[in-house]
Structure 1
Amino acid sequence: MPDKQVIVIGAGVGGLVTAIQLAARGLQVRVLERAEAPGGKMREVAVGPHRIDAGPTVFTMRWIFEDIFEAAGARLDEHLELEPLSIIARHAWSEQERLDLHADHERSIEAIGDFAGAAEARGYRAFCEQARTIYTTLDPTFIRASRPSLMGLMGRCGLSGLGNLRGVRPYDSLWDMLGTYFKDERLRQLFGRYSTYCGSSPFMAPATLMLIAHVEQEGVWSVVGGMHRVAQVLAQLAEGLGATIEYGRDVTGIIARHGGVRGVSLADGEQIAADSVVVNADPAALTGGRLGAEVRRAIPPLTPERRSLSALTWCLSAETEGFPLARHNVFFGRDYASEFKDIFGQGRLPRDGTVYVCAQDRGTDGNGTLNGPERLFLLLNAPPRGDRHDFDAVEIEQCEQRVFSRLEHCGLRVRRDPERMVMTTPVEFEQRFPATGGALYGQATHGWKASFSRPASRTRIPGLYLAGGSTHPGAGIPMAAMSGRLAAEALLADRRST
């Protein structure tokens, strides 16, 4: 029956995985996407003849995608070509201060010892052991749980499981906890950066985010053809299972009457009936009224003060010299605290911000050299004020000068041409992802309770579900995919119960 179909709003990773899971079980699924291509934040930007990944650039937790493909009767390696990186990332503080983290754990220990001394190498070994313990404890009990709560976590872990977390003081920040392993401030910067993977400050994020170190040690891959290839393959898999994906379809409202969802309305005036709707958009679009007054209170309100980081990004084709770029590179300033005080405290662009550079034509071993221009993606953390503060041209230009000066301080010279460069600001991210202010990770994970307050799959309205990196279990491609699985499981369980 037509009204028994499921509507998925958004063809980001979470929405596509939801569609795959439901279509594989025989449900009629219709995905409506406002953009002209799948992927959401996993997008490409055209710079002249080049296509540059302009969103997530790291592929981890491969096994999550292997499970998704297997459940759909397919194999991941038959659809995606993945190349393991031998160098996870290259880090620099100046021309003389460089440190690589390797896929080979012992090589990383040796590199840290050479960089900062034997005591720091021992601290890194202990840090990694604790990161592994945190991950193995929280993976089945929190990440894969449909609705996170402290009591639920305690119930699933048991006393013995919670004992595995005894080395992590629950009220400590990631930054403070890193100080128990590292005396070298540069190493605290390096591993404190894990908090920015979920759009947060290391000075306010919980120490449990140490688990990201273990995730990286389990493998980091490069996707042949670019990260956007992941979205394309997921869309093809969903369609192969019978789901339909319609692009250029702008959903402006969710119809909810008589105690449940009844369908959606589109910008062109069309209404589509459905008894289940999955929203693969930032939950702020719900609470902000962007999808109609009828569903505004489907989840507790989300305030702008809780937003995660936004960004200034540059996609460019340029020649480089000096610094030996790997695939993933991070260039640090000296005053790490000032970066987050500027962003979260003052709501301004950082004066001494960390710059991430993805050199998308570099080999997986980090030792390649290129003749001629190469594709680069640069990212600088920024305040999520795209709906309140249109950064003026002078402010943006001064920030850009600081970014490329930071790179030159570390030995990287980029011969950039404004005609071969595309910038995206928080204002433009707000336009792409309404009601977020340009925040790219949903709510910031600040304080030990934050992980339990992230919106879950189910809402207060029967038949209305959430998926995406702004929902539980969190930001990042693997977690967005997991959110899609959780949304599908919740929807199927509710159908069985009725």
Structure 2
Amino acid sequence: MQQSAGINAAKTAVVVGAGFGGLAVALRLLARGYTVDLLEKHADLGGRARTFQLDGHRFDAGPTVITAPLLFTELFERFGETLEDHVTLLPVAPFYRMDFADGSHFDYHGTTAALIDEIERLSPGEGKQYPLFLQAAEAMYDRGFTELAQRPFTRVADMLKVLPDLLKLRADRSIYQFVSDFFSDERLRRAFSVPSLLVGGNPFKTSALYALIHALERKEGVWYVQGGTGALIDALASLFQRHGGRLHTGQSVQYLEMEGLNVRAAITEQGQRFAADFLVSNADPLYVYNKWIERTTLQRLADSHRKRLKQSMGLFVLYFTTERVYTDIEHHTIVFGETFREILTEIFEQRQIPDDLSLYLHRPGATDPSMAPEHGDAFYVLAPVPNLQGNQDWPTISAALEQRIITILTQRLMPDLPQQLRAKHSISPTYFHSELNSPFGSGFSIAPTLTQSAGLRFHNQSPRYPNLFFVGAAVHPGAGVPGVVCSAGVVEELVIRAYETVAANDISTTAAPIRGTK
């Protein structure tokens, strides 16, 4: 087990929320010698990566793939263990299939040669543009992920220092504009800009910086955890407990006990008090500030701007099993609607559910047959929808939306689906609000615009409460599994600065920097 040579002035930490971010930061702090209590409101772990049973079969509720395995490799290495001894990662191929309304499709492969061939098949003459696009995406990756993802941004001034470089990369433009510089075929523009939706952003508003997602997938691959993403959550939790971490499930925080501006303890609805020198929250900062901390009227007025931050979209997810196996459907299929900009405008700007839905279909059995029922198949299909700011009556409309999704899949991919459908279950933005403490039921917290990136997101260390820290989708570097796990590295660095005495030349290396990414 590797520990810092520094002296910990603080000895105890409470981490609230056992999602990917909470587990990652709990492990990092444990490896540094802190006593760590990890609290989870549910009986199960994972946050957005929870699992559930349907039709006698285990489903991942949220993230479907891992795109930066090295981040998890590092967590196991901190304790002298290896990731491969605990989970098996299976390559997903193709990464995604894009299915278009005109009947064409585009397979997003993992090699340059295969992608060029696929581009040429879809839009002859444009294949030569791909290497140029990849080079530009890699520049975004080098700056946005390799250099900045685990760098703390505690002040707006920190963001201003890197802003000139981001502007040189034209990160002020949208990712759709960025992609359009390289491809003229609208289908290719959609295919290469849609990854921003995977972190909750409108491609027409999301910074071109998020083209780094494409470069990350190309460099690190797209992987599926054998047994589902929940198997990785289980492995991380076991690692934490195996090395002395204290895990408490069924403990829902009611409020934070304060002494002045410092957190002294988390008090749970179950009547337990968990004291600590500092607290790290995996819950949305807006929820924490509004629900867990008693504030004066003046403080509430000072914080009112937070409610005006642009939120990501909501998610409607339908999980279902079928009587037969659909061998012709890939692991991931993105089913584009007739329109693109119009759909996104309705969702993000007008906060309406579009008639012309686009869908993200996940068939894990394509990669891991154990994730499908015997002699059958299992799917989940995600539809971007407005978050709760749209004021939809989700209990009333969910059944109709389920049927609309089934109709689209029947028309586009699975003609016999109504006859083969065995069991189904859906969740709406109300689930994210009530179960995952998302104030607006947003799927990915605040939206990834340039003015809500890095130091302009919620800070990883509270600017008002010095021993309150945050990991997760709302803070730097952002949503998605890699971003959330990287946020744990940012918090570790901030804890080192605040509580440990180390030589100045050691500070830049003690937070386990990202390796092997160049």
TM (norm. structure 2) is: 0.87
In structure 2, do the counterparts of structure 1 residues 27 and 149 end up closer, same or farther at CA, with 3 Å as the change threshold?
A: closer
Match runs of 1:438-477 below 5 Å: 438-459=441-462, 460-477=464-481
Report the number of matched residues: 487
| 1:338 to 2:342 alignment | yes
* Shift, 1:49, TM fit: 0.7
Partner of 2:483: 479
| 1:318 to 2:322 alignment | yes
Quick check: 1:323–1:412 contact (8 Å CA) kept in 2? no
Q: What secondary structure, in the 3-state scheme, does the structure 1 residue paired with 2:280 have?
A: strand
Q: What secondary structure, in the 3-state scheme, does the structure 1 residue paired with 2:211 have?
A: helix
Tell me which amino acid in the other structure corresponds to 1:343: I
Quick check: 1:316–1:422 contact (8 Å CA) kept in 2? yes
In structure 2, do the counterparts of structure 1 residues 299 and 40 end up closer, same or farther at CA, with 3 Å as the change threshold?
A: farther
Quick check: 1:290–1:435 contact (8 Å CA) kept in 2? no
More displaced, 295-304 or 138-147? 295-304
Q: Which runs of 5+ in 1 are unaligned?
A: none
* Shift, 1:38, TM fit: 1.3
Could you tell me which of 44, 56, 60 is aligned with 2:63?
56
Quick check: 2:159–2:455 contact (8 Å CA) kept in 1? no
CA root-mean-square deviation = 2.9
Quick check: 1:20–1:72 contact (8 Å CA) kept in 2? no
What percentage of residue pairs aligned between the two structures are identical? 25
Q: Deviations over 1:166-191 (max 9, x none)?
A: 4x423321112221111111111112
Measure, in 2, the Cα distance between the counterparts of 1:416 and 1:72. Answer: 50
Partner of 1:135: 141
Tell me which amino acid in the other structure corresponds to 1:453: L
Partner of 2:378: 375
Q: What secondary structure, in the 3-state scheme, does the structure 1 residue paired with 2:365 have?
A: coil
Q: What secondary structure, in the 3-state scheme, does the structure 2 residue paired with 1:334 have?
A: coil
Q: What secondary structure, in the 3-state scheme, does the structure 2 residue paired with 1:420 have?
A: strand
In structure 2, do the counterparts of structure 1 residues 53 and 416 end up closer, same or farther at CA, with 3 Å as the change threshold?
A: farther
| 1:429 to 2:432 alignment | yes
Measure, in 2, the Cα distance between the counterparts of 1:462 and 1:405. Answer: 52
Partner of 2:361: 357
Match runs of 1:221-236 below 5 Å: 221-236=223-238
Could you tell me which of 20, 30, 35 is aligned with 2:27?
20
Quick check: 1:22–1:29 contact (8 Å CA) kept in 2? yes
* Shift, 1:306, TM fit: 1.4
Q: Which runs of 5+ in 2 are unaligned?
A: 1-7, 503-518
* Shift, 1:325, TM fit: 0.7
Match runs of 1:51-130 below 5 Å: 51-94=58-101, 96-119=103-126, 121-130=127-136
Quick check: 2:97–2:334 contact (8 Å CA) kept in 1? yes
Match runs of 1:107-186 below 5 Å: 107-119=114-126, 121-147=127-153, 152=158, 155=161, 162=165, 166=168, 168-186=169-187
Quick check: 2:357–2:383 contact (8 Å CA) kept in 1? yes
Partner of 2:505: none
Q: Deviations over 1:10-31 (max 9, x none)?
A: 1111111111111112211001
Measure, in 1, the Cα distance between the counterparts of 2:275 and 2:238. Answer: 24
* Shift, 1:371, TM fit: 8.2
In structure 2, do the counterparts of structure 1 residues 20 and 199 end up closer, same or farther at CA, with 3 Å as the change threshold?
A: same
Measure, in 1, the Cα distance between the counterparts of 2:373 and 2:14. Answer: 46
Measure, in 2, the Cα distance between the counterparts of 1:317 and 1:386. Answer: 31
In structure 2, do the counterparts of structure 1 residues 387 and 351 end up closer, same or farther at CA, with 3 Å as the change threshold?
A: closer
More displaced, 69-78 or 242-251? 69-78
Quick check: 2:40–2:249 contact (8 Å CA) kept in 1? yes
Measure, in 1, the Cα distance between the counterparts of 2:131 and 2:323. Answer: 38
Measure, in 1, the Cα distance between the counterparts of 2:283 and 2:191. Answer: 31
Measure, in 1, the Cα distance between the counterparts of 2:446 and 2:104. Answer: 34
* Shift, 1:478, TM fit: 1.6
Tell me which amino acid in the other structure corresponds to 2:130: Y
Partner of 1:408: 410
In structure 2, do the counterparts of structure 1 residues 304 and 440 end up closer, same or farther at CA, with 3 Å as the change threshold?
A: farther
Measure, in 1, the Cα distance between the counterparts of 2:120 and 2:280. Answer: 49
Partner of 2:222: 220
* Shift, 1:469, TM fit: 2.0
Q: What secondary structure, in the 3-state scheme, does the structure 2 residue paired with 1:421 have?
A: strand
Q: Deviations over 1:190-230 (max 9, x none)?
A: 12211112111011111111111111112111110100111
* Shift, 1:330, TM fit: 0.8
Q: Deviations over 1:95-126 (max 9, x none)?
A: 7311111112211110111111122x122221
Q: What secondary structure, in the 3-state scheme, does the structure 2 residue paired with 1:60 have?
A: coil
Partner of 1:281: 283
Q: What secondary structure, in the 3-state scheme, does the structure 2 residue paired with 1:213 have?
A: helix
Quick check: 1:93–1:410 contact (8 Å CA) kept in 2? no
